[in-house]
């Protein structure tokens, strides 16, 4: 049984360049270490994927549709199905003066931005730099090890997974209440200054409407918590009730005893 378009799944994947074995990405920490692409700042865990929705490159997406839960498969993609063939028209010679004050620091292999496009420096000489605007993996065959772990089936699980995807490692801090036609999301104060928060909220709303179609309204509640503990009312000091002291016993009078008479 294959996976239908729009199915939400959790999957593990590892990608590498076929010819060189260069690691590209992985959801498995041990694989990241083997491929020398380990990142201590990220959390390694199965990735949420919407099958057939463009969350994966097109060639991989097409192959995943043919898989089922629990299946693991090695998928080889030719350049046309992966990141595209190399295009000679995407190579440009750019005067070094266009890079400003940092031009003298630039080296072959550096990533640079020109006219809002990212490229890689391939050559520097004669006052110019050759910049390659092809994707860095263009023209290369890619091999994926892909495993479908499980489907995300209940609406509650879908909400949690979609929120986590947008908030990254902070998603578990966002609470939610799912009603019959509405969803309320509680965003804690510590996430208010998160970069792109409004875009994240819009993205979550769109995802919810698409994958949980019973929801007609999404509400975000921003919670502020009083960091100061509530002050306790000072109780009036209790009056000390003094127990009256018992009167001191009167000293006993010494009785004089007459000496006994001798008979």
* Angstrom distance (rounded) from CA 11 to CA 161: 13
| pTM exceeding 0.85 | no
Q: Does domain 154-226 have CATH number 3.40.50.300?
A: no
Per-residue pLDDT tens digits for 206-215: 999 999 999 9
* Percent with pLDDT over 90 in the chain: 75
Annotated domain spans of the chain: 1-85+137-153, 88-132, 154-226
Q: Domain 88-132 is in which class? A: mainly beta
- Architecture of the domain defined by 1-85+137-153: Roll (3.10)
pLDDT in tens, 248-261: 566 665 555 555 55
Element (H, E) at 185: strand 182-188
**What DSSP designation does 47 have?**
E
Instruction: Report the pLDDT value the prediction gives residue 252, as an integer from 0 to 100.
Output: 60
Q: C-alpha distances in angstroms, 18 versus 6, 28, 77, 193?
A: 29, 19, 9, 42
């Amino acid at each position: 049984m294959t996976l239908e378009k729009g199915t939400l799944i959790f999957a593990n994947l590892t990608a590498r360049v076929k010819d060189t074995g260069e690691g590209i990405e992985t959801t498995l920490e041990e694989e990241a270490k083997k491929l020398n692409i380990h990142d201590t700042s990220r959390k390694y865990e199965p990735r949420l994927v919407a099958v057939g929705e463009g969350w994966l490159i097109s060639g991989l997406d097409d192959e995943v549709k043919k898989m089922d839960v629990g299946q693991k498969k090695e998928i080889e993609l030719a350049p046309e199905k992966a990141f595209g063939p190399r295009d000679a028209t995407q190579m440009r010679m750019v005067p070094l003066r266009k890079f400003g004050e940092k031009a003298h620091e630039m080296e072959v292999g550096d990533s640079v931005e020109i006219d809002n496009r990212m490229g890689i420096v391939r050559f520097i000489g004669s006052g110019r730099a050759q910049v390659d605007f092809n994707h860095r993996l263009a023209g290369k065959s890619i091999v994926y090890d892909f495993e479908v772990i499980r489907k995300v089936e209940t609406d509650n699980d879908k909400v949690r997974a979609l929120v986590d995807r947008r908030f990254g490692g902070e998603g578990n801090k966002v609470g939610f209440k799912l009603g019959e036609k509405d969803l309320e999301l509680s965003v804690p104060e510590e996430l208010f200054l998160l970069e792109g928060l409004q875009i994240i909220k819009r993205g979550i709303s769109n995802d919810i409407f698409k994958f949980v179609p019973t929801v007609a309204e999404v509400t975000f509640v921003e919670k502020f918590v009083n960091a100061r503990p509530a002050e306790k009312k000072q109780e009036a000091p209790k009056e000390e009730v003094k127990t009256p002291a018992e009167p001191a016993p009167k000293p006993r009078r010494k009785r004089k005893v007459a000496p006994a008479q001798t008979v």
